[in-house]
Structure 1
């Protein structure tokens, strides 16, 4: 469970989240929507422990993501909109992912293949030098291989071509484990078959929170 109670977050004089309260439970599949600057990314980074709230509390499975960040992140798979500047080659990245999250290399290879990304001839390539679409496929493969209790995707299809988007949606539809899935998206039409809840934010507040 993710519990957000009366959370506010400022950057200088700019209020990014304004006394926000939300609860996400197992089997919630949420489309988190709103214009740029609504506070969506700030909310995600608070859940991940990247930011301290100015007021209020954030709990992930009862744990404070600042104080217990390692334990919190063990249960979360996160794919950002902009892939991080990882300087490892793909073989090194896979090894790191396997050691740090206790997943099998074959699981990553399987999901990469399902995303139509052939890893074997690319293992010596630097992640940093890959195209945006290839980076996204790599991160998606790792996230799906982890089988996490919480998955968070920030505009996951932004860098994917239509076929890769179809593959991504197919894999998520086939993923029937009980979990929390949070999708930051501007494309509800793409996600409507995957989500059961829509939250629309603006100016740091929740304007609507409806089942689908």
Structure 2
């Protein structure tokens, strides 16, 4: 579903990605790991069309994520490490997601409830003013409700308490069939039961790409 071919991305003289070749296929559940500056986030942002490749290309379900941006983003759910500064209140945000991404609001409420996030009591509250944990839960609930074929999480549990982390991984495990799921993480022990592939990056290259036993 995702094909990365000879991908290089430079920022001025710095080479953030160095001739990366990798495929992500249906039923791949990947832990994407590596030190800060390894190129993980650049790879994700290039896959999503936020960055233009310097050389090489990315195809999502055969589509160029820059030329076919709307079509590609309709296939993807993405939860960033740092929640965006959304000024809408939760009621407005849910309505926007409903209309723009054809997501059922009942599903957003369902997944939020599973994550112990009380949306109804906070509908008039600005997303921007929520706690870090509440923001993360809201974004995760939206990502699951969207029912995308590609899900990308960049350190999704960074702002979650241990119970919320357990809820998150339980929901992910229940929703993985037939998807590509990519977890950018520093905590392999957290995702080892739900991933079946570990990719380690450093200095803009893929150093190792190994199958794992997860999903048993």
Residue matched to 1:166: 166
2:188 match:
188
What is the CA–CA distance in structure 1 between the aligned matches of 2:67 and 2:176, rounded to whole Å? 31
Pairing 1:39–2:20 present:
no
SS in 2 for 1:22: strand
Residue of structure 2 in register with 1:122 after alignment: 122
How far apart, CA to CA, are the structure 2 residues paired with 1:182 and 1:117? 24
RMSD: 0.5
Please list every run of 5 or more consecutive structure 2 residues that lacks an aligned counterpart in the other structure: none
Residue 177 of structure 1, CA deviation: 2.6
Map of 1:74 onto structure 2: 74
Instruction: Name the residue aligned to 2:58.
Output: 58
Give, in whole Å, the separation in 2 of the partners of 1:197 and 1:148: 20
How many angstroms does 1:159 deviate by? Answer: 0.6
Deviations 1:59-114 (A, max 9, x none): 00000000000000000000000000000000000000011111111000000000
- 1:174 deviation in Å? 1.3
Name the structure 2 match of 1:148: 148
TM-score calculated relative to the size of structure 2? 0.97
> Which secondary structure state, in structure 1, belongs to the residue aligned with residue 46 of structure 2?
helix
Q: TM-score, normalised by structure 1?
A: 0.99
Number of residues of Structure 1 aligned to a counterpart in Structure 2: 212
- Correspondence for 1:29: 29
User: More deviation in 171-180 or 182-191?
Assistant: 171-180
